[in-house]
Structure 1
Amino acid sequence: MPPGPVRLPWLPALILAFVLIVGCTSGAAPEPPEPESDPAVVHTAAGVLRGVVADDHRFFAGIPYAAPPVGPLRFRPPEPSRGWAGERDATRAGPRCVQNPGPDPEFGTNTDEDCLSLNVWTPPVSEQKRPVMVWIHGGAFVNGSSNVYDARWLAARGDIVVVTVNYRLGTLGFLAHPALGAPGDVGNYGLADQQAALRWVRDNISAFGGDPQKVTLAGESAGAMSVCDHLVAPASSGLFRAAVIQSGPCQAQADLPTGEQRSLDYAAGVGCGDPATAADCLRTLPTDKLRRPVWFYGIGADELAGPVTGSAVLPTAPPVAFAEGAAARLPVLIGTTRDEFTLFVALRYLQEGQRYTAEEYPGLLADTFGPNAGAVAARYPLERYDSPALAYAAAVTDGAFACVSDRMARDLSAHQPVYAYEFDDRQAPAPEPLRTLPFPVGASHSLELRYLFDVGGAPPLSPAQQTLSDQMIDYWSSFVADGVPASADGPAWPRFGSDPAGGPYLSLRPDGNQVTTGFADEHQCGFWASLEG
């Protein structure tokens, strides 16, 4: 993580804005049902579902995996889903979990506390059980939805089952008020939701043609940070056999005392300041009173919501467990984009009018890197970049994303197979507002998702980019199938740590994927390591 204070208080609102731009039961596993004559019908432990059948995939949407976390179940671990009689319509996605509308009221629409649902994409019906990828969405733990990620390409070309999951966000997902449970057992409700979804997959996915013994947990941004958490969370053990971590700065964690104090302050601010009555007060407040997120931490600062460590659900911070070899020992695919932070610089430009002048550059570095600002300025001088915006973005990309990911890969690879990548298509399609800036966003945060999922809202891929998309789907689905990424149309992907020169990484590019060993040098990871104190 970047040493010293790294304060980005505007980051959550910008992530929220980008979500809008881009988003244009437990127990023994049941016996597999008899084959259905209608491929649109699936029998689960809770009841019968009717989904949608296309030529190359099936889709089942809005499936409840836990009871509605409302009333007395608010701020509690998820309870098993209730069953239903007859066929349940599974052709439309469920509502998004409650989230802060922020600068755009659309974020407050189609949201509900009763949001613990998931979507399933499958290949066409066959007797063969397919491997499964469970996808956790990003959004800084305060925004986002599983419904953004249309996974039909992975199901059709990759021949895998894909499950996308909603989980409680913001205050409803992560408030750690000490009155809400036993000592040490508060907060992290959103993380517990994800665990409940994994248990649902274990118990039900065979009915959709999935193999419950071949589950890979994957996510991007906050979703990737969640994957890091599940690699060390005791109750997640055994629920998946491989992990994909895309652009997840997993160093950002708040400890339980910090989370509890911030939660006490938050409760007082919404009129629930009496510890003796706070639990009942918080559970009976109107939902709109809890839309504003509780902030715990950021990328090295105190500006985001999310899981807290030192708790019953998450006893140890992932970076500590990774360094000590205490994470789940299973294959990991991990990587970042070449220009991660240009997205956030761009959104600040669009939302707040931040112009990033040369005169402002020292102040930006001071606000972000504190006492290390001078050393960062010397390493990222303005004359090396086409604009101050790109200089600033390069520094935060390297310090908060690239080198954090590289360290995680190094720590994990000492104990298990790791495959590392960098997405490096600097002409990747982007939403229209990001194409009107005075600087290019390049291969920015989240743009690699368009090569795996149909998320819409941007120009189509070029022929060369479509080839890269096909190769990435091959690599990801191969990793889901057997823990080794492979593509018949791309180079072999060597394990991280197999080259003494560094890495190696697979650089994902539309002009041809390349195995490289210079990632750490290019992103100045030695410099960032030298600043650690």
Structure 2
Amino acid sequence: MAPTSVLCRVVCVLVAATMAAGCARGWDEPASTSADPSLVQIASGTVRGVVGRDHRLFAGIPYAAPPVGALRWQPPQPAPTWDGVRDATAFGPRCLQDLDGGVELGRQTDEDCLNLHVWTPAVDSDPPPPRPVMVWIHGGAFVNGSGSVYDAQHLVARGGIVVVTLNYRLGTMGFLAHPALGPAGAVGNYGLSDQQAALRWVRDNIAQFGGDPGKVTVAGQSAGGMSVCDHLVAPGSEGLFDAAIIQSGPCQAQVALPEAERISIDYAREVGCADPAAAAGCLRALPADKLREPVRYFRIGDDALSGPVTGSAVLPTDPMATFADGDAARVPIAIGTTRDEFTLFMALEHLRGRELLPAGYPDVLAETFGPNADAVAQRYPLDRYGGSAPLAYSAAVTDGVFACVDERIGADLARHGPVYAYEFNDRQAPAPEPFATLPFPVGASHSLELQYLFDVGNAPELDPAQQALSDQMIDYWSEFVRTGAPHRAGSPEWPALGEGPVPRQRLSLAPGDIRVFDDFAQIHQCPFWDGLK
């Protein structure tokens, strides 16, 4: 997984959409008719959303009770009901997270954050059959981000699907695994349980928005993609979705329960709750602001992320091992990475004045790859990358942490069901303006494909060829959500991965050059990575 401090900024810079309802492009005032399309009755009560020319949005709908007070570090509880009409025209607060860097334009954060947003196509005079649903889980290294930054207006209008984006508890609130917080083995993973609660909400309510509860795809990118891997093996997720999309998800970055408990005990000590007998009450009594700093688990170099805990009640097995054993949910899968995953993180470090120089290359390899550092240095020598330590290190992490993990997951899952693999390969993808001053190219890096699927209010504009690629990607994604196979008339064929000795065919996504290729593993040196211990 990407370093937490970096990934936060990636989402902030690239995916921060307009935050207040009514500001998104093309929205109109709600229609006033006898069958008002801005009103929807759900199990908890009636909500009023926003009606646009080509879509509807119902924002900030609570799918669980506020996880505050005695419910802090408890499984999500049912959402409260309400009388009258609840306003659903503005996004609710994002979940508690570190405010460093002004993530999402300083948008409010709160413990009371378990809300979701439903995007639907416009209401037709002749209503169509129930539409397939994509439930999108946001990234952010499990320490920040929110569902509100993913503007699905164009995706639902062009794709003809319903999209649900959601918030889930992050960082310490979502993943602290202190053994005093619950029964043995039942701590941690509160954020993952929130996602399951949102999926149950979709099952029970999405038909009221024109969605098909029997045709749900769970999807996500980065930490969201890693979450999708978890749902493929978590018992509590069984039956809640019919297909899955994993984008740039390093699903090996789980932490086992004993290690998570040790780190969580250390965290509690640092915030003043060292006594094991009193830790639960002490932690629950702390002001929320004292818990913004996330508990940190899986490491890459000096950075770390929060995240799911394996060997626990919610996630008994490690996804990677379960995939290899053939015990994951047998549903259609779309999975992929970007060609240059890690360059954007190095770019952001450079812009903060933390430039990686050639002299520091051995040290950062040692921090990241431990006893394999020398072998990695020989495989990724500086002179192959023009003497650039950021490019050499980015190539190594791209291959070892993202691409070859993706290749392994695809191969394992393809033994038991259809798997469609891709690589986003627009190496001229728009990136934030400050990156133009860098001494190395960013290329097709982590998260840059998101602006091809979602409307991003502050991202650089796509050129005509890139916009055509965006339309094609939306067609592929929405057709996969609709049918479980991304076959779309007028677009190049996207074959499923082959089995055994058959070449593993993958779709390369680049402007004007969508094509099938079968040397992904060689390009990313996966035989080398598979051979490391």
Classify the secondary structure of the residue corresponding to 1:144.
Answer: coil
| Cα separation, 2, equivalents of 1:123 and 1:62 | 18
Identify the range of structure 1 (270-279 vs 214-223) with the bigger mean alpha-carbon deviation. Answer: 270-279
Letter in 1 for 2:236: A
Contact 1:218 1:224 in 2 (8 A): yes
Classify the secondary structure of the residue corresponding to 2:159.
Answer: coil
Contact 1:155 1:161 in 2 (8 A): yes
Q: How does 1:344-423 map to 2 (within 5 A)?
A: 344-351=345-352, 353-386=353-386, 387-423=388-424
Classify the secondary structure of the residue corresponding to 1:281.
Answer: helix
* Structure 1 residue 109 displacement after superposition: 4.5
| Cα separation, 2, equivalents of 1:86 and 1:104 | 36
* Structure 1 residue 237 displacement after superposition: 0.1
Aligned partner of 2:22 in structure 1 is none
* Structure 1 residue 357 displacement after superposition: 2.8
Classify the secondary structure of the residue corresponding to 1:162.
Answer: strand
Per-residue CA deviations over 1:290-348 (Å, capped at 9, x if unaligned) read 11101121359982211100000000010010000010010000000000000111111
Q: Number of paired residues?
A: 513
Per-residue CA deviations over 1:424-472 (Å, capped at 9, x if unaligned) read 0001011122232111100000000000001232221111001100000
Tell whether 2:18 aligns with 1:18: no
Per-residue CA deviations over 1:142-179 (Å, capped at 9, x if unaligned) read 01010110001111000000000100000000111111
TM-score, scaled to structure 1: 0.93
Aligned partner of 2:73 in structure 1 is 75
Tell whether 2:181 aligns with 1:180: yes
Classify the secondary structure of the residue corresponding to 1:406.
Answer: helix
Letter in 2 for 1:422: E
Aligned partner of 1:4 in structure 2 is none
* Structure 1 residue 209 displacement after superposition: 0.1
TM-score, scaled to structure 2: 0.93
Aligned partner of 2:89 in structure 1 is 91
| Cα separation, 2, equivalents of 1:161 and 1:525 | 37
Tell whether 2:158 aligns with 1:160: no
Q: How does 1:37-436 map to 2 (within 5 A)?
A: 37-104=35-102, 109-125=107-123, 126-299=127-300, 303-351=304-352, 353-386=353-386, 387-436=388-437
* Structure 1 residue 279 displacement after superposition: 1.2
Identify the range of structure 1 (141-150 vs 299-308) with the bigger mean alpha-carbon deviation. Answer: 299-308
Aligned partner of 1:446 in structure 2 is 447
Contact 1:36 1:42 in 2 (8 A): no
Per-residue CA deviations over 1:256-305 (Å, capped at 9, x if unaligned) read 11111111111111111122221111112110011110112135998221
Contact 2:4 2:303 in 1 (8 A): no
Contact 1:299 1:400 in 2 (8 A): no
Structure 1: unaligned runs, 5 residues or longer: 2-7, 25-34
Contact 1:249 1:299 in 2 (8 A): no
* Distance change >3 Å, CA 49–CA 235, structure 1 → 2: same
| Cα separation, 1, equivalents of 2:113 and 2:165 | 13
Identify the range of structure 1 (440-449 vs 280-289) with the bigger mean alpha-carbon deviation. Answer: 280-289
| Cα separation, 2, equivalents of 1:385 and 1:105 | 33
| Cα separation, 2, equivalents of 1:326 and 1:132 | 25
| Cα separation, 1, equivalents of 2:251 and 2:161 | 27
* Structure 1 residue 498 displacement after superposition: 5.3
| Cα separation, 1, equivalents of 2:413 and 2:302 | 25
Letter in 1 for 2:14: V
* Structure 1 residue 244 displacement after superposition: 0.2
Classify the secondary structure of the residue corresponding to 2:307.
Answer: coil
Classify the secondary structure of the residue corresponding to 2:358.
Answer: coil
* Structure 1 residue 108 displacement after superposition: 6.4
| Cα separation, 2, equivalents of 1:306 and 1:107 | 24
| Cα separation, 2, equivalents of 1:401 and 1:300 | 15
| Cα separation, 2, equivalents of 1:215 and 1:103 | 35
* Structure 1 residue 489 displacement after superposition: 3.0
| Cα separation, 2, equivalents of 1:127 and 1:470 | 22
| Cα separation, 2, equivalents of 1:430 and 1:38 | 40
* Structure 1 residue 373 displacement after superposition: 2.0
Aligned partner of 1:28 in structure 2 is none
| Cα separation, 2, equivalents of 1:347 and 1:193 | 31
Letter in 1 for 2:391: L
* Distance change >3 Å, CA 12–CA 194, structure 1 → 2: same
| Cα separation, 2, equivalents of 1:363 and 1:181 | 40
Letter in 1 for 2:362: P
Runs of 4+ with deviation above 4 angstroms: 103-109, 299-302
Contact 1:101 1:107 in 2 (8 A): no
* Distance change >3 Å, CA 396–CA 52, structure 1 → 2: same
* Structure 1 residue 92 displacement after superposition: 0.5
Contact 2:415 2:499 in 1 (8 A): no
* Structure 1 residue 17 displacement after superposition: 2.5
Contact 1:201 1:212 in 2 (8 A): yes
Aligned CA-pair RMSD: 1.8
* Distance change >3 Å, CA 123–CA 206, structure 1 → 2: same
* Structure 1 residue 106 displacement after superposition: 6.9
Contact 2:333 2:418 in 1 (8 A): yes
Aligned partner of 1:27 in structure 2 is none
Classify the secondary structure of the residue corresponding to 2:133.
Answer: strand
| Cα separation, 2, equivalents of 1:355 and 1:529 | 30
Aligned partner of 1:5 in structure 2 is none
| Cα separation, 1, equivalents of 2:380 and 2:363 | 14
| Cα separation, 2, equivalents of 1:452 and 1:108 | 24
The share of aligned pairs that are identical, in percent, is: 65
| Cα separation, 2, equivalents of 1:442 and 1:36 | 51
Identify the range of structure 1 (237-246 vs 175-184) with the bigger mean alpha-carbon deviation. Answer: 175-184
| Cα separation, 1, equivalents of 2:494 and 2:189 | 35
